[in-house]
Amino acid sequence: MSDSEVIKFSLLVTGNPASSQNAASALQFCEAVLAAGHKICGVFFYLDGVLTASDLINPASDEVNIPDRWVALATQYKFALEVCVSASLRRGIVNEQEAAQLGLQHYNLKSPFLLSGLGQLAELSASCDRLIQF
Amino acid sequence: MILHTVSRSPFNSFALKDCVKQLSDNDLLLLLNDAVSAVSATTDQHSHLLQLDQSKRLFVLDVDLQARGLKANMGQVVSYAEFVALTIRCQSQLAW
């Protein structure tokens, strides 16, 4: 591959945004990919990484708000933020539809994060040039 | 050619030990997060890492060294931009 070619990246994020540095590393890697002029096809959140999709995360104002940064990047560069549904339900990340189905009083999935399955990860991996895991 | 990324400290995980055993002849190794301590202190994988360094296949993430106040005694210190370039140079990545 030549240096000038635009490479399509997908990212797999498994780190808890509050306690794992991998969550911050993934975000910084994503920013570096975009700064180099490459493309992000999508980001898949799995294991404790799904906690990034909670709308209730509010770190102190002098700290980086990782979920907000993901939303800003995904909106600006138009890529999807996919969240594994089974890992989410296990950790209390629920969207409106799941809450209704499960008879829960609340839901907390941040927009534009989407609950999806491992099939979506397979699709992301097949449609990009590089899948990078954090 | 695979880019292996190790993020856990060699002092509380077997990630680095397991990874160096699996490295093929032309694979690259990038240390990030707590794993950067492996190029600053002496570990059981020291000779392995030295060999990798001599063949220019060992890389360490700059900001993670700085955040810990560590200095690299071996390996090429790289930025996130160079990390991205390494993932392009290799066909795939394996996270340990």
Structure ipTM: 0.95
Q: For B67-93, give the DSSP string.
A: HTT---SSSEEE-HHHHHHHHHHSSEE
Any idea how long chain A is? Answer: 134
What is the Cα–Cα distance from A1 to B86, expressed in whole angstroms? Answer: 12
What is the Cα–Cα distance from A92 to B83, expressed in whole angstroms? Answer: 34
Q: Which residue in the set B5, B63, B81 is minimally distant from A36, CB to CB?
A: B81
A51-95 confidence digits (pLDDT tens): 999 999 999 999 999 999 999 999 999 999 999 999 999 999 999
pLDDT at B37: 97
> In one letter, which amino acid is A117?
G
Which among A65, A45, A32, A52 is positioned nearest to A117, based on CA atoms?
A: A45
Task: Categorize the per-residue pLDDT at A2 as very low, low, confident or very high, splitting at 50, 70 and 90.
Answer: low
> In one letter, which amino acid is A95?
N
pLDDT at A1: 53
pLDDT at B5 over 60: yes
Contact yes or no for B57/B27 (Cβ under 8 A): yes
Domain count, chain B: 1
Any idea how long chain B is? Answer: 96
* A36/chain B closest Cα distance in angstroms: 7
Domains detected in chain A: 8-133 (3.40.1260.10)
- Round the average pLDDT of chain B to a whole number and report it: 97
B84–A36: do the CB atoms touch at under 8 Å?
Answer: yes
* B68/chain A closest Cα distance in angstroms: 13
Query: What values do phi and psi take at A8, rounded to 5?
Result: -95, 120
Q: In the predicted model, what is the mean pLDDT of residues A2-27?
A: 92
- Tell me which residues of chain A have a C-beta less than 8 Å from any C-beta of chain B: 1, 7, 9, 21-22, 25, 28-29, 31-33, 35-36, 38, 130-134
What is the Cα–Cα distance from B30 to B38, expressed in whole angstroms? Answer: 11
pLDDT at B54 over 90: yes
Contact yes or no for B52/B23 (Cβ under 8 A): yes
| Cis peptide, bond prior to residue A67, ω within 30 of zero | no
What CATH number corresponds to the domain at position B32?
A: 3.40.1260.10
- Tell me which residues of chain B have a C-beta less than 8 Å from any C-beta of chain A: 5, 7, 32-34, 63-64, 79-81, 83-85, 87-88, 92-95
Contact yes or no for A66/A24 (Cβ under 8 A): yes
Q: How many CB atoms lie within 10 A of CB A48?
A: 19
Range of the domain at B49: 2-95
Task: Categorize the per-residue pLDDT at A4 as very low, low, confident or very high, splitting at 50, 70 and 90.
Answer: confident
pLDDT at B58 over 70: yes
B7-43 confidence digits (pLDDT tens): 999 999 999 999 999 999 999 999 999 999 999 999 9
What is the Cα–Cα distance from B96 to B11, expressed in whole angstroms? Answer: 14
